[in-house]
Amino acid sequence: MTTYSDLQLDALRELANIGSGQAAASLSSLLGKPTDISVPTAAALPLADAVAVAGQPDEERHGILVPIIGDMQAAVVLLVPDEDAQTLCSVYGLDPHSDDGRSMLQEVGNILGTSYINVLAQMTGMALEPAPPQVVHDMLGAILASVLMGRGEDLEVALVLDSDLTVEGEECSMSFLLLPESGGVEDLLARLGL
């Protein structure tokens, strides 16, 4: 079983911190409202526990998947509770369950995911690019398990980097996860000199 040292987890948390900081700035300019981020959680967890980082497995979420391609295989996943998706979409007068609403969420994923991925690429010197986002509304457990197992990789431990973004005055929050494949984490740490 792969485990990471505290030092490595701290480095990954810092990476997530800067990445989600950039994403928060992008969200802020998208919505024209200040956005706060929480201190990210970096945890390497057995798969069964990895889902619990983001909530109960049967809680429903809008899930926006932004696959990362290039030097590291990974995915950025945005998890947005329905009421928060309503708030986000209402800025543009849209319903998150409509086609236009889903398209708006896809664009949010695109903008936030891309700014996060760019920071990651700059800090590590890796060539990383976002693939087109995919949007679903489903159970949290089903979304995360499908992303973690998506490419059929046999993981023992999932590294989860989780940050919360909160839009001020709108009580809108979303969970921002980076899920690297196991080889990707090694590469990431090597690039950071760890």
**Interface positions with other proteins (CB under 8 A):** 47-48, 51, 56-58, 60, 63, 65, 67, 69, 73, 131, 134, 136-147, 149-152, 154
Q: How far is the CB of 96 from other proteins (least distance, A)?
A: 13
* Alpha-helical runs (H) found in 32-81: 47-50
Q: Which CB sits closer to other proteins, 123 or 155?
A: 155
CA-closest candidate to residue 166, choices 158, 176, 157: 176
Q: How far is the CB of 163 from other proteins (least distance, A)?
A: 21
Q: Which CB sits closer to other proteins, 21 or 180?
A: 180
Q: Which CB sits closer to other proteins, 170 or 187?
A: 187
Q: Which CB sits closer to other proteins, 82 or 170?
A: 82
Name all contacts of 31-37 with Cβ < 8 Å and 24+ positions apart. Answer: 31/88, 31/91, 31/167, 31/170, 33/167, 33/168, 33/169, 33/170, 34/167, 34/168, 34/169, 35/165, 35/166, 35/167, 35/168, 36/165, 36/166, 36/168, 37/163, 37/164, 37/165, 37/166
Q: How far is the CB of 134 from other proteins (least distance, A)?
A: 5
Q: How far is the CB of 76 from other proteins (least distance, A)?
A: 13
